[in-house]
Amino acid sequence: MAKNLLIVESPAKAKTIEAILGKDFQVKSCFGHIRDLEKNDMGIDINNNFKPKYIVPADKERVVKELKSLAKSSGEVWLASDEDREGESISWHLAEVLHLDPKTTKRIVFHEITKPAIEKAVKNPRTINMDLVNAQQARRVVDRLVGFELSPVLWRKIGMSGGLSAGRVQSVAVKLIAEKEREINQFAAVGSFKIEALLAATDLNNKTVSFKAEGGKYTVEAAAEKFLQSCIGAKYTVKDIQVRPGKRTPAAPFTTSTLQQEASRKLGYGVSRTMLLAQKLYESGKITYMRTDSVNLGETAMDAIKAEINTSYGARYLQIRKYKTKNESAQEAHEAIRPTYMENHTVNDAETGRLYELIWKRTIASQMSDAELEKTTAKINISSNKEDLTATGEVLKFDGFLKVYMESTDDEEEEENEKEGESRLPNLTVGQVLDFNQMTATERFTKHSARYSEASLVKKMEELGIGRPSTYAPTISTIIKRTYVEKKDKEGVKRSFRILRLKNDTIEKMMEQENTGAEKSKLFPTDLGLVVTDFLNQHFTKVMEYSFTANIEKEFDEIADGKMQWNKMVEDFYTPFHTGVAHTLETAERAVGERMLGVAEDGKPIIARMGRYGPMVQVGSQGDEEKPRFAKLKAGQSIETITLEEAQELFKLPISLGEYENAEISVNIGRFGPYVKFGEQFVSIPKGEDLWSVTLDRAIEIINAKQKEDAPIGFYDEKPITKGKGRFGPFIKWNDLFINIPKAYNFDILTQQDCKELIEKKMEKEANRFIRQWPEEKIAIENGRWGAFIRFGKKMLKLGFNKNNTKYTPEELAVIELDEVKKMILTQEPKAFDNKAPAKKRAAPKKAAKKK
């Protein structure tokens, strides 16, 4: 046994570091956090200075047990979790659980997993920084308080069939997306006519070179036409030429935020995927720590970058720069994200290779020379009306950093201009008369601001000071998972625009079409997200203010700097917040996002609102004698934008398509989406297919495909075996048993022997699964991974203790009575059987009647 035990967060990192440190160290992973706040209760003792109640989760008990054993037999324990606040918190939790003294236990940090960095860290250990621990503890406690107290308010006042949640950062992120959507919904495009002339001149080689020159804009067609008429027969003369040098400067090295933005724009990666790949690169020693808001590069890195630029590109391409972090509250990490070894231009791994190359290029480019440009602007006089046209050209004189890397932008128009590359004008002279080809006045429309992509949302959150490098990815994942936001593409729509063209002294009018409004991988708020945002905005105005959320982050920073007590900060936040929660629960009305659309022919109101299973439209009111009618919204429709006509169209469902095999076929929308009804059979319409475009022939295709899918592929014990693909992958079904197909089997060509093996294995497993069963009550006692438990419907509940206040033995469970199990269920689910009693009473008379 090694005399030193060094504990890191991940197993991949453990292997790399153990190889560096050698036989004196045993390096083990704690697999991230080993403790967290209790889940069953709030996990915070509010009356005791907000003291957190931490527990070791069941899935970490084995890891903790192993680390305790290793710690006892080791001479010294070293803690080497990540260098940010969360990492510091993990080290403190390890010290607490392993009974180490935080004041003396050696804590080491490093920004990169290289031999020099690890050896330097071991030679310079420190102790656990409790200020950083307390900053992380404050964040965890505040976020738990907000989630624990706000979420039940949403359950009560909004409802919905799924669990709603609110969070200090996630809710304001949804608010950003909601505000952007409403801004777009209110936007009205304005058209104008842009003047553009196609001219030509002869260059030094007697070659005719065409180029474009732009004029002014006209708001109405008549004014644009009048200008073109004034240009008939005109001469076009060069009035003035200006040539100015210009330059472009490289962007700073990557921080967490800018890496997420560029990986999204250049590689199409989501924020979570970027962080996952960056983590792999860091843990395998390829890049420096990936959670940082610093743009600084250390001396060692700078020396390596200089050498690489001189070797690969030459001294002219080297220009040393020192970048300053804009964010004053940048966290503890000391360097930007960069490769650990600059001589490695790529890595031999297909999954992480593209991200590594992006990081390498950005790092190298940051220390390269400016790109040198020459910009030419020519003013061209029109003889007939004394107006001027402007022609511009740009020539790249020295590529500098552009040889390696060009930063992308979120501005789509700017991006298109960049893609066009350099534009060159012919050599013009003042007084030169130019050849005229044609002039157009083209109708162009203003555009609304772009919806947020994951990258631009991260950028906006960073600008506002909302969240920190470690929070961007989980925040975006959470709001998508909670269905407050959807990440999707938007198809463009056809739009007509007008063109007036002057050619050969004649003005021609044309109408053309363009595709407009298409967007890819953008964030759209759902109706649920909009309703929740409005409710929180109305009742928790302060919590939803961007500045308030940013100030909370600054207070966490002050705790990390030792300038503020963490529990005092929590108290100052919680006291008014809790009062607001109590007041809202008592006074707020239920929120459904109701919007009046109009009135039906019979005078009943037509309303769009949130229903139990999502957005819908309703005809009639709850107080009417006749029950209201309901219709679910189509995909892409919203209660905020649906029109009266679109709502009335929804009530035409179900639509009868005709008959097939003497049974009626119709289409409709249900709780689980659009479907085809064939007699008494319901068949889902494939995802992405529009219900309204399904014809009788297409419905028959869908029915036949389902019948073919459901046809038996074999028999076992004279009962049919069918196969299909579900949420958890391919499966076979036999006798109401669903059996997942392991990768060892070829799902497409399952043999009778394959099915026999799979069924018998499943039956053997099921035989050992149940200790006792009461199917009619939907109650069972099952063997689980962590011991026996009660299954009640879909819920997994704990077993209580026996009369001796000890755990039940297998023998006791084998003969336990149903009433005893029900008592255990009721202690955990007090209303478990409330809905069952009336059903039994109604059923009794029917049985009696049969006996008579």
Instruction: For residue 63, give Cα distances in angstroms to 32, 283, 309.
Output: 11, 20, 46
Q: Are 619 and 606 in contact (CB under 8 A)?
A: yes
Of the residues 218, 269, 282, 289, only one is catalytic, namely 289
- The whole-angstrom separation of Cα 425 and Cα 427 is 6
Strands (E), 126-227: 191-202, 208-218
289 flagged as catalytic: yes
Q: Are 489 and 520 in contact (CB under 8 A)?
A: yes
Cβ–Cβ contacts within 10 Å for residue 838, how many?
9
Q: Which residue has the tokens 């004008």?
A: 425
- The whole-angstrom separation of Cα 441 and Cα 229 is 11
Chain centre distance of CA 122: 38
- The whole-angstrom separation of Cα 207 and Cα 22 is 72
Q: Are 400 and 315 in contact (CB under 8 A)?
A: no
- The whole-angstrom separation of Cα 475 and Cα 139 is 14
- The whole-angstrom separation of Cα 47 and Cα 40 is 18
- The whole-angstrom separation of Cα 689 and Cα 487 is 18
- Among 85, 80, 87, which Cα is nearest to 131's? 85
- The whole-angstrom separation of Cα 281 and Cα 254 is 14
Q: Which residue has the tokens 């008990």?
A: 61
- Among 131, 63, 129, 133, which Cα is nearest to 98's? 63
Return the structure tokens found at 422. 């350099």
Return the structure tokens found at 804. 């001796």
- The whole-angstrom separation of Cα 250 and Cα 235 is 43
Q: Are 99 and 87 in contact (CB under 8 A)?
A: no
Return the structure tokens found at 432. 């030169």
Residues in the chain: 852
For residue 635, give the amino acid letter. Answer: A
- The whole-angstrom separation of Cα 761 and Cα 746 is 17
What SS3 string covers 44-105? EECCCCCEECEECCHHHHHHHHHHHHHHHHCCEEEECCCCCHHHHHHHHHHHHHCCCCCCCC
DSSP single-letter state for residue 778: T
- Strand order of the sheet with strand 779-784? 770-774, 779-784, 787-792, 795-797
- The whole-angstrom separation of Cα 672 and Cα 687 is 11
- The whole-angstrom separation of Cα 155 and Cα 483 is 15
Cite the active site residues: 289
